[in-house]
Amino acid sequence: MSLPIVEMLAAEKTFPGGVQALAPVELSVRPGELIGLIGPSGCGKSTLLKLIANLHTPSAGEMRWWGEDFTRVGEAGRRLSFVFQDPTLMPWADVATNVRLPLDLDGIPRDEARARVAPALAQVGLSHAADRTPAQLSGGMRMRVSIARALVTRPDLLLMDEPFAALDEFTRNRLDEDMALLCAQGGLTTIFVTHSLTEAAFLSTRVLVMAPDPGRIHAEYAIDPTIVRDEAFRLSAEFAAICRDLSALLNEVSHARAAADA
Ligand SMILES: Nc1ncnc2c1ncn2[C@@H]1O[C@H](COP(=O)(O)OP(=O)(O)OP(=O)(O)O)[C@@H](O)[C@H]1O
């Protein structure tokens, strides 16, 4: 079995002031996985993602990157990209320049950086829009630019925090299908947070259902990675069954919370 990209070994997070956002978590992320995090508000989804991104340090436990402790791997050695709900593009710069930004910041020679932008734009279907500015793009296109900017560094791991939440359902479904294809074809390993059970069911090869107070992984649900994620899958009985199962797991979490509140 291949080495995990990321391991969380009893990693937990308590914020100053005493809020235990995450109880000790055991998680192993293997190459090619597409992991969806779902659960009620405040159950620690973003905190878990930020621990993996090294935007938070764990209060206890260990984080490993390709088997090495995070503290021994420099930022440059941890090849990961983060996509947020807000694409945060430079409004004055064209699409190609926006996508090139992380390469410029890394000091990659201009010619090499330019050569890497074209395939990243092609991956997200935006080759025709390289010269446009963000104001000339739809919301879905802006999100595609943000994804291309994340892919251009060729990350080992892509993290996405509610990436498509602000988009209409049609655009969101299209982006979900494209993301699934990108991950399947490019072997891209991804962890994403979503409030949408159907999005988690559609995209993930593994869903982590989280529970609050304190935040923790309540259940793990595996989905056959060989399933082709397309419109036919979305309409299938198999997809409906996955959604039902996930819904039941989320109900367990809300019932436990209601019982605790009673
Ligand atoms: N910087 C912080 N300082 C103190 N407490 C925090 C901080 N960030 C998050 N928390 C708390 O940690 C808990 C988990 O927050 P987190 O944002 O990870 O949850 P979430 O599941 O992503 O929530 P949502 O779905 O609403 O985005 C919450 O109780 C939150 O108030």
Residues 146 and 160 grouped into a single domain: no
pLDDT per residue as tens digits for the range 200-218 = 999 999 999 999 989 999 9
Per-residue pLDDT at 262: 64
With a 6 A CB cut-off, is 44 part of the ligand 1 pocket?
yes
Ligand 1, atom 25, lies closest to the CA of 41
Rg (CA), the chain: 19
- CA of residue 207 to ligand 1 center, whole Å: 20
- Structural domains in the chain (count): 2
Q: Which helix (H) or strand (E) holds 257?
A: helix 237-261
Are residues 122 and 181 both part of a single domain? no
Q: What is the ipTM of this complex?
A: 0.97
| DSSP per-residue string spanning 102-167 | HHHHTT--HHHHHHHHHHHHHHTT-GGGTT--GGGS-HHHHHHHHHHHHHTT--SEEEEESTTTTS
Half-sphere exposure in the Cβ direction for 31 (13 Å, CA): 10
Please tell me which residue, 145 or 255, carries the higher pLDDT value: 145
Between the CA of 57 and the centroid of ligand 1 the distance, in Å, is: 14
Q: 62 with 110, same domain?
A: no
Q: How remote is the CA of residue 15 from the centroid of ligand 1, in Å?
A: 9
CA of 14 to the centre of ligand 1 (A): 10
List CB contacts of 197: < 8 A, sequence separation 6 or more: 38, 243, 246, 247, 250
Does residue 7 carry a pLDDT above 80?
yes
Same domain, 173 and 58: yes
**Cα of 70 vs its chain's centroid, Å:** 19
Instruction: Give whole-number Cα distances, 92 to 89, 97, 102, 122, 186, in Å.
Output: 9, 10, 16, 22, 31
Q: Is 214 in the pocket of ligand 1 (CB under 6 A)?
A: no
Residues 38 and 161 in one domain: yes
Cβ contacts of 187 within 8 Å, gap of 6 or more: 31, 32
31 lines ligand 1 (CB under 6 A): no
Residues 197 and 240 grouped into a single domain: yes
Segment 31-48, tens digit of pLDDT: 999 999 999 999 999 999
Domain boundary among 155, 182, 210: 155
Confidence of residue 1 (pLDDT cuts 50, 70, 90): low
For residue 165 and ligand 1, the question of a CB distance below 6 A is answered with: no
User: What range defines the domain where residue 241 resides?
Assistant: 1-12+30-79+156-262
179 shares its domain with 242: yes
Residue 20 inside a domain? The answer is no
Q: What global pTM score does this model have?
A: 0.92
